[in-house]
Structures are given as C-alpha cells and as structure tokens.
Amino acid sequence: MLIFKALHILTMFGAVTFLVSEAVFAAVAIWRGDVAALAAIRRFTGRRPVVGALLFLAGIGFGLLAVATGGFDFFEGWLIAAYVLVVALFAVNGLPIVQKGLVGLTDKALEAEAGQRPAEEVVREMAMLRGRILMVVATNVAIFAALILDMVLKPF
C-alpha cells in the first residue's frame, strides 16, 4: 500500500538525518579535539542514538510492509542489495570502535567537563581514535548513500 511506502520514506529520512548528523558532529568534535563540543553532543543526543535507531527500525518495518502489500518480490536484486547494506550498517555500528571507543570517549568528555578527568587526557584519546572514528563515519555515510541510491534507482 502507498501508506507503507510513504511511512517508509518519512521514517528513513528522519533516521538518516538523526544518525548521520550525530555521527558527523561527533567526528568533527573529535577531529578538532573539542572536548566541550563532544560533551554537548552527548548531552543533546544521549548515550545511544535512540531516536535515530527507532526511526531506522520503524523504517525497515514499513519498508517490508510496503514490499508485502505493494506487489514487489522480496527477492528482487535491489531489495537483496538493500538487505545486505542494512546488515552492513548494523555490522559497522556494532564494531568495538563504535560501541566502546566512541561511547567511552563521550563518557570521558562529560567527565572532563564536570572536572572529574583532565581534559588533556580526553584530547589525547581523541587524537588516537580520530582516524578510526572518521573511517567509521565515512563508511556509514557511504552505506546510507548506497541505500538511498539503491531505493531510488533500483539498479538490479
């Protein structure tokens, strides 16, 4: 049905907006060694990207409903490509650099801002993780771009 397609588009638009913007802002703060900015992002978004993740999961559900009610074949090439890209997103974001490195770094930024940890220590850790965090964010952006192109162009 058209309503499921519309809900899929709207929830995914929201999910990409929340998830990519949070990741890009965090990566910029880390790249600049800006402890206060990273702490502010953490305070604003929380420990985990709950809103973006819920929108993403809802978007997946609405997408599957759109396929089931819209006359699509679940095994069309472009849908299989989408499934693989979604699994890739979950895999990338399940990596220790994200789950322990990035989340731990935001915890430490909050501690530094509260005076419970030296800010210089957090800046040093930011410098050590900078390249890996940038690669994760770039990979996420590339996968989301590939998903969007796959959904719009249906190349397979």
Query: Do the beta carbons of residue 58 and residue 8 sit within 8 Å?
Result: no
Supply the pLDDT for residue 48: 84
pLDDT band at 52 (very low <50, low <70, confident <90, very high): very high
Dihedral, CA of residue 130, residue 132, residue 138 and residue 141, to nearest 10: -110
pLDDT of residue 1: 86
Rounded CA separation 110/113 (Å): 5
**Average pLDDT rounded to a whole number, residues 24-53:** 94
pLDDT of res. 46: 86
Among 57, 48, 34, which Cα is nearest to 94's? 48
pLDDT at res. 120: 96
- Rounded to an integer, what distance in angstroms lies between the CA atom of residue 140 and that of residue 77? 22
Model confidence band, residue 55 (pLDDT cutoffs 50, 70, 90)? very high
Q: Which two tokens stand for residue 20?
A: 């990519």
User: What pLDDT is recorded for position 67?
Assistant: 96
Question: What is the 3 state secondary structure string of 49-94?
Answer: CHHHHHHHHHHHHHHHHHHHHCCCCCCCHHHHHHHHHHHHHHHHHC
pLDDT at 39: 96
| pLDDT for residue 127 | 96
User: Do 20 and 140 touch, CB atoms closer than 8 A?
Assistant: yes
Residue 39 half-sphere exposure, CB side, CA atoms within 13 Å?
Answer: 15
Question: pLDDT tens digits, residue range 93-123?
Answer: 999 999 888 989 999 999 999 999 999 999 9
Q: For 61-84, what is each residue's pLDDT tens digit? A: 999 999 999 999 999 999 999 999
Strand, helix or coil for residue 125: helix
pLDDT at 47: 84
Q: Measured between alpha carbons, how far is 134 from 130 in angstroms, rounded to an integer?
A: 6
Q: Is the predicted pLDDT of residue 51 greater than 90, yes or no?
A: yes
Q: What pLDDT does 154 receive?
A: 93
Q: How far apart are CA 31 and CA 126, in angstroms?
A: 7
